[in-house]
Structure 1
Amino acid sequence: MKILAEKIGGSRLFAAVASKVAPPVDRALYRWLGGRTLGAGPPTLLLTTFGRRTGRQRTVPLLYVRDGERLAVAASNWGRERHPEWSGNLLANPRALVRLGAALEERRARLATSEEREKLWPRFIELWPAYAAYQRRCGREIRIFLLEDARSSTANHPC
């Protein structure tokens, strides 16, 4: 099953189609179902960033991995050469809103250190095997962001 998920999920055709169809459908279903999933799919959250040029809120559905109290997300952009816009937004402004189930939380994002990335990356591949194909195809290191509790990190990074 993992090989099939990597082969299909990692194909350029899947990425081209899914990148257009999945985000709006996932956002709508996530909100309509209150964060519940229709099946045993991978854990998903809605991440809202603030546009680095416009300041407008941008919301994307993302798979995530738990790392203690932190949540980790991978900026794979479906294996494209460019980083996704939301990751650039987080680099410019680490404040983020995370909808996890019915709960909406403010989080502070930061890039994972190389040690954290080394620990987390295999967990992302286990979660969605197509990440391995994305990494091979994109020609860049896929950014991993840690979303930390904004209250515990506000002393170091005011919003």
Structure 2
Amino acid sequence: MSKARLPPRWFIRAAWKVHRGLYNTSGKGLSLPRDKKYGLLRLTVIGRRTGEPRSVILGYFEDGPNLVTLAMNGWGAPEPAWWLNLLAHPDADAVLKDGQLKVRGRAAEGEERQRLWARWQQIDKNLDAYADRRPRTTAVVVLEPR
């Protein structure tokens, strides 16, 4: 499979900072998922080393009452810090465009993972090519209301 084209890593990281800054200064930048488009949420987790709150903006879609995202770190090799923090402290807070939700995070496995991955493939036609850039399997993260 050919590799899908991505912007340089420095550009991806800069875009994250700009998006986070936009949200922090204006409260704008979140969106609801639509048919073939993911939404954007703000997830706050507890740092595994510091015990301090850490926030990140993530793409997601809804699966019944659950929110589903990918632990993909801009398709770079390392696991995203928010995912490592969520593994250590599964309880988190999600801010959506239409409200807040207390959630508990976990990795989807087996048939559930396959089903949710297939849903992401409908949203992003380059998903498999992007995932092939990573040296490990990309976790499909389920955020369940608590």
Give TM-score scaled by structure 1 length: 0.77
Match of 2:30 among 2, 26, 35: 35
Matched, 1:7 2:9: no
Cα pair 1:98 1:104 within 8 Å, conserved: yes
- Give the counterpart letter for 2:104 in structure 1: R
State the partner residue of 1:93: 89
State the partner residue of 1:22: 15
Report the Cα distance in structure 1 between the residues aligned to 2:83 and 2:39, rounded to whole angstroms: 19
State the partner residue of 2:129: 133
- Give the counterpart letter for 2:110 in structure 1: S
Decide whether aligned partners of structure 1 residues 145 and 42 sit closer, same or farther in structure 2, where only a CA change above 3 A counts.
Answer: closer
Post-superposition shift, 1:144?
Answer: 1.2
Aligned-pair Cα RMSD in Å: 2.3
In structure 1, list runs of 5 or more residues that go unmatched.
1-5, 151-159
Matched, 1:83 2:76: no
Post-superposition shift, 1:133?
Answer: 2.2
Matched residues, number: 139
Decide whether aligned partners of structure 1 residues 26 and 94 sit closer, same or farther in structure 2, where only a CA change above 3 A counts.
Answer: same
Decide whether aligned partners of structure 1 residues 22 and 111 sit closer, same or farther in structure 2, where only a CA change above 3 A counts.
Answer: same
Report the Cα distance in structure 2 between the residues aligned to 1:106 and 1:130, rounded to whole angstroms: 31
In structure 2, list runs of 5 or more residues that go unmatched.
none
Alignment deviations for residues 20-71 of structure 1 (CA, whole Å, 9 cap, x no partner): 122222223345227348xx96311111111001011111111112110000
Identity rate, percent: 34
Structure with the largest fraction of helix: 1
